[in-house]
Amino acid sequence: MDAATPGVNALDLVGASVPDRLHEVSLALAPGTLVGLVGPNGSGKSTLLQIAAGLLPGGGSVRWGGRPLGEIPMIDRGREAAWVPQEAQFEFGFSVRSVVAQGRYAHGDDEHGVEEILSRLDLMGLANRPVNRLSGGERHRVLLARALATEAPLQLWDEPLAALDVRHALEVLVLAGEIKRDGRTLLLSLHDLRIAHCLDVVIVLHEGRLRAAGPPPAVLTPALLREVFGVRAEIAPGLVLKLP
C-alpha cells in the first residue's frame, strides 16, 4: 500500500465524459476521505464510478495518486484501486472464500488477510458455500470483501449498502471508517442521504453533470434537495442507530 503521499490526490478526474450519460465531470479526492456520491436514478453515478475505476473508456483523464491511468500497468491497477459493482451475479459456483481470495490476484494470489476479511464481513459461516447459492445481500458482502482483500488505497463502491440489512450496513460503515483511518480513500454511491450526511464529502450528480460537491451540511440543503431530487426535505442531523 502506497497510500497518502502528502499533497497528492487519491483520485483526480478531469472532464470525464460518456456520450448521453456523463458530461465533463471533474473532481479531486484527497487521501483519507470518505466520499458519498448521490443523485437520482440515472444521474450517472455508476458511470462515474466505472470511469474512476478505469473500466469504461471515455473522454477526459483519470489519475490515481497523481499517476495517469494509462501509465499504470493492468496488473498494478488491481492493487491500486478496487471496484464493487452494483449488480452481484455469479454464474459459476466458486466458494465464497475463493471469490474473496480473487482480491489477491494482483498480489500473486498470496491469500494475505483473506480469513480476517471473511470474519469482518460475517462470511466465515458461508466461506465454503458456492456464491451462486447466496442471497442478494450475502453476494454483495462477498464483493465488498473481495474489494477489501485487495488492500487498494482507492476503493470505489457502487451502492454497497442498498442490499444489506441494518446490521451489515452498519458494519460496512465501520469498515469505511477504518479505510479512512488507514489514510485510504472511499468513494461510494448511495441513496440514503442520512448516511451521506455522515461522510466527509458528498458529491451530487444530476442528469450526468456535477451539481455540487463539498461538506454534506453545506451541500445537502433543502433547496438542492428540491431541485435535484424533487422532494421537500431537510436532513435531520445524527444517525440514531449505533453498533452494540
58 binds another protein (CB under 8 A): no
Is-contact 34 180, C-beta < 8 A? Answer: yes
> Mask of contacts with another protein, 200-239, x by CB under 8 A?
----------------------------------------
98 binds another protein (CB under 8 A): yes
Is-contact 187 52, C-beta < 8 A? Answer: yes
Pinpoint the alpha helices (H) of the chain.
45-52, 74-80, 96-101, 114-120, 136-149, 166-181, 193-196, 216-219, 222-224
- Taking the complex as a whole, how short is the minimal distance between the CB of residue 93 and another protein, in angstroms? 6
- Which residues of the chain form beta strands (DSSP E)? 11-18, 22-29, 34-38, 59-64, 67-68, 81-84, 154-157, 185-189, 201-206, 209-214
| Interface with another protein: number of residues (CB under 8 A) | 35
- Taking the complex as a whole, how short is the minimal distance between the CB of residue 94 and another protein, in angstroms? 5
- 77-87: burial string, b at 16+ Cβ within 10 Å, e else: bbbbbbbbbbe
128 binds another protein (CB under 8 A): yes
Stretch that binds another protein, among 69-77, 192-200, 201-209, 228-236 (CB under 8 A): 69-77
43 binds another protein (CB under 8 A): no
Alpha carbon distance 75, 236 (integer Å):
44
Nearest to 54 by CA among 29, 94, 19, 82: 82
71 binds another protein (CB under 8 A): no
Pick from 130, 171, 182, 200 the residue near another protein by CB under 8 A: 130
Stretch that binds another protein, among 19-27, 82-90, 113-121, 177-185 (CB under 8 A): 82-90
If the CB atoms of residues 106 and 169 are measured against another protein, the closer one turns out to be 106
- Taking the complex as a whole, how short is the minimal distance between the CB of residue 38 and another protein, in angstroms? 22
- Taking the complex as a whole, how short is the minimal distance between the CB of residue 130 and another protein, in angstroms? 6
Alpha carbon distance 89, 100 (integer Å):
14
Alpha carbon distance 111, 179 (integer Å):
20
Pick from 76, 110, 116, 178 the residue near another protein by CB under 8 A: 76
Nearest to 153 by CA among 180, 134, 133: 180
Side-chain half-sphere exposure of 171, counting CA atoms within 13 A: 15
67 binds another protein (CB under 8 A): no
* Binding to another protein in span 138-177, by CB under 8 A: 143, 146, 150
Question: Which residues in this chain contact another protein in the complex, by CB under 8 A?
Answer: 50, 53-55, 74-79, 81-83, 85, 89-95, 98-99, 102-103, 105-106, 109, 128-131, 143, 146, 150
